[in-house]
Amino acid sequence: MKKETISHDLKLFSRMTDILVTQGTGRHSYGVDIENLGTLAVVMNQQGDTNKHGGKLTANTLKQVIYRLRHGDGLDDLAPDWSEFDGPGALHRQASNLIHLKSHFISK
């Protein structure tokens, strides 16, 4: 695999992780629940991230990034600090998400 591809994959994966952690910890809201790679790609496009050719990101592009890094043993160094999800703020978000989910099923 080319060095440029690995470097760009690492950059994109780092951005994916940053976006998910900042939204998950409540430090930033992107105006949408990021439930899948397609939504994450849209958010990343809005932030100005692109594929290695300068085009828009798609869910498939992000899947390929993850695949290449996973099979190249590149993911271990990029694991987020999971302690950010512990503590009172994280528990409040979890309870809020559970209440929202429960109300969603009750309203159906």
**Domain parsing of the chain, residue ranges:** 3-80
The pLDDT mean for the chain works out to 80
Q: 89, 83 in Cβ contact below 8 A?
A: no
CB 33 within 8 A of CB 39: yes
Q: pLDDT tens digits, residue range 14-60?
A: 899 999 989 988 888 999 999 999 999 999 999 999 998 999 999 99
